[in-house]
Structure 1
């Protein structure tokens, strides 16, 4: 029996996408397992372990169990001992800084006094005595020098020398006080900040080390081109449709040719005279169109069955020789 080939059914896009996603997930899991290589060095080790699962659901509602990896870093015994000792030292420094903070809590609540009176007082308390002692020694030396020269106290020469000395001393005092004023301000600020700086130094030595995380390998699932699958499915359906339409048009063309070629349009169409019957289309009037062979030969033909035509156009069917029915193709078409 000869039959007309049918176009293959296009793949279902959703099923194809689901299959592709499952393949991608399996590949990603395999890649992740291969990427997580345990490392062992003299300084320590790095190990990856599966610590759980993450559930992923695709757009079709199918769920996948994805393994969750965790990275574990471990020091060598020697490095671990150094780390523990360092942590203890830093903890001790932190406690000491906390104790010192309690002792100087009043400092931050007191304003720094840089007024002229306080600065002058600081100069007098710390440096003025030394300045005065130096000039007292210089005056004693001057008195001795004048006496050695025979210049007596109270004489004009003595008074002139003493006046010059006093002028120099005053100029030196003004210069000294100007210089010491700036030094006094810096010293006052230093004394104020010294305890704070000590606490800051203690705290800088007790900083908590931030963990060094390992760059985790990244695995990305490739995107499924579902739109492409849908378009491909549509194109395949259109190809099958166009093929079917071409064959149907050819069959209809054959019927028109048959109807015009036969005398009066009549032809033997009794089903009993045909074999290997296969429907290939439908006429506009709803009459099935078949491909077949006559029992007496002649090759494959295209036409209708008299019994099917008779149900639609009774007048287009008549009884022919031997009681076999004929169809008026001109009227049917």
Structure 2
């Protein structure tokens, strides 16, 4: 026995399993009865009856009564009448079908003759079209030939200085002759060199000579310009002739390319027409092939239909009207859950053990503190001062009690301790009286010193 009574007894596994089995069987029987609902419809009714079947639990040996259901379906009077008529009609048609089936021996005993069937299409006679390939494009003229070089500059072979010198060679003798004649004439007139009249006459003659020379130079420049203009006109004429020749070459090349392009387009048109004709021929061959196959397939289908017709008639005779089974409403029952009896037992045991262990821990903590005072803790323990006394355990041979104090000693709390009257019989040294005559127990002396014999 511990500080706070004995530990709870652990559940017996066999008893727990047996109780769980009984719970499961009871739940299953209840669900079975609740789920099987009797039904009544215009076409009939559905009724459940139960028979008892014994079952022995191999673990506990207990015998249980199991309710085994039997479902009975009953047609209404109208449906029973229909079923009777249907059965009779089906018997008649089955008899007729049996009679007709005897006639199939001659029909099915002979192979189907398809010798008169139309011949199917010959795929080997269809030749794939050999298309004509389109030719390459024409070789167009991309060059217009050489129309001559363009004259970009012209040279004038004219030496102005030589031309001037030639003019001077002709002019100078005349100028010298005129000067000599002037000097002679001035001398004949009595004018002496150095005189004003003489110098004026000589100066005028010199200016005339210079004017003549300048005129010769200007004449040389004009001649040079005239010759350069002739050269320029010649170059312009040559370039115009070259441009005209180039234009004629371009026109000739364009005409030739247009002619080649037209010929290429004509060839492509002819090639496309030939290929289209080959496609048309190929499609016609395919159509002929498909038509032959369709004619043969149609002939064979009609032949097979003629052969199968008697069989289909017999099958039709063997199939008759069907009896309408009653349409029952599906029942929606909420299954009763199985009680986890074993789990509940185990949980209850765990709860009790938890409470017991907690109480033991509290007691150990309490008395560990009491023993730690080393003989200096005294408490009012007289039984006469206590009420609502309940024994909760033992410690070192002394009974432990839970109680409350009476009268003025009542502090509104529950306490745990020994009874002074009991301790006094075994350990009088640990008990002493107060002035009011009530007994107190020295817990330190009681539990630290041990028990006296």
TM-score norm. by structure 2 comes to 0.40
Q: 1:48–1:69: 8 Å Cα contact kept in structure 2?
A: yes
The one-character-per-residue Cα deviations of 1:81-108 (angstroms, maximum 9, x if unpaired) are 2211111212332333233333314544
**Deviation at residue 24 of structure 1 after TM alignment:** 5.7
**Deviation at residue 256 of structure 1 after TM alignment:** 3.5
Counterpart of 1:200 in structure 2 is 315
Residue correspondences, number: 231
**Deviation at residue 237 of structure 1 after TM alignment:** 0.7
Greater share of strand = 1
2:300 to 185, 189, 209: 185
Matches within 5 A, 1:227-242: 227=343, 229-242=345-358
The 1:35/1:190 distance shift into structure 2, 3 A limit, reads: closer
Q: 1:281–1:288: 8 Å Cα contact kept in structure 2?
A: yes
The one-character-per-residue Cα deviations of 1:124-145 (angstroms, maximum 9, x if unpaired) are xxxxxxxxxxxxxxxxxxxxxx
The one-character-per-residue Cα deviations of 1:229-273 (angstroms, maximum 9, x if unpaired) are 4244224213202311331342243233244x38xxxxxxxxxxx
The whole-number CA distance in structure 1 between the counterparts of 2:80 and 2:53 is 31
The whole-number CA distance in structure 1 between the counterparts of 2:44 and 2:51 is 21
**Deviation at residue 199 of structure 1 after TM alignment:** 1.9
The 1:56/1:96 distance shift into structure 2, 3 A limit, reads: farther
Greater Rg over alpha carbons, structure: 2
Counterpart of 1:12 in structure 2 is 11
Q: Please identify, of 22-31 and 192-201, the stretch whose mean Cα deviation from structure 2 is larger.
A: 22-31
Counterpart of 1:245 in structure 2 is 361
Q: 2:52–2:65: 8 Å Cα contact kept in structure 1?
A: no
Matches within 5 A, 1:44-59: 44-53=44-53, 55=55, 57=57
SS at match of 2:313: helix
Q: 2:39–2:46: 8 Å Cα contact kept in structure 1?
A: yes
Counterpart of 2:248 in structure 1 is none
The whole-number CA distance in structure 2 between the counterparts of 1:71 and 1:111 is 53
Matches within 5 A, 1:95-114: 95-105=95-105, 107-114=107-114
The whole-number CA distance in structure 1 between the counterparts of 2:79 and 2:349 is 63
The whole-number CA distance in structure 1 between the counterparts of 2:8 and 2:297 is 97
**Deviation at residue 56 of structure 1 after TM alignment:** 7.1
Q: 1:24–1:221: 8 Å Cα contact kept in structure 2?
A: no
Q: Please identify, of 61-70 and 210-219, the stretch whose mean Cα deviation from structure 2 is larger.
A: 210-219
Counterpart of 2:420 in structure 1 is 294
The one-character-per-residue Cα deviations of 1:207-247 (angstroms, maximum 9, x if unpaired) are 79889788577645525163464244224213202311331
The 1:298/1:39 distance shift into structure 2, 3 A limit, reads: same
TM-score norm. by structure 1 comes to 0.52
1:119 to 117, 120, 127: 117
The 1:239/1:182 distance shift into structure 2, 3 A limit, reads: closer
The 1:10/1:96 distance shift into structure 2, 3 A limit, reads: farther
Structure 2 unaligned regions, length at least 5: 119-291, 378-388, 401-417, 422-432
Counterpart of 1:224 in structure 2 is 340
SS at match of 1:70: strand
Matches within 5 A, 1:305-320: 309=451
The whole-number CA distance in structure 2 between the counterparts of 1:214 and 1:59 is 41
The whole-number CA distance in structure 2 between the counterparts of 1:258 and 1:277 is 27
SS at match of 1:257: coil
**Deviation at residue 49 of structure 1 after TM alignment:** 1.3
The whole-number CA distance in structure 2 between the counterparts of 1:119 and 1:22 is 80
Indicate yes or no: 2:370 matched with 1:254. yes
The whole-number CA distance in structure 1 between the counterparts of 2:106 and 2:322 is 25
Q: 2:420–2:439: 8 Å Cα contact kept in structure 1?
A: yes
The whole-number CA distance in structure 2 between the counterparts of 1:58 and 1:254 is 55
SS at match of 1:112: coil
Report 1 or 2 for greater relative contact order, CA contacts < 8 Å, sequence distance ≥ 6: 2
- CA RMSD of the aligned region, Å? 4.5
SS at match of 1:119: coil
The whole-number CA distance in structure 1 between the counterparts of 2:392 and 2:323 is 86
Structure 1 unaligned regions, length at least 5: 121-176, 263-275, 310-316, 318-324, 326-333
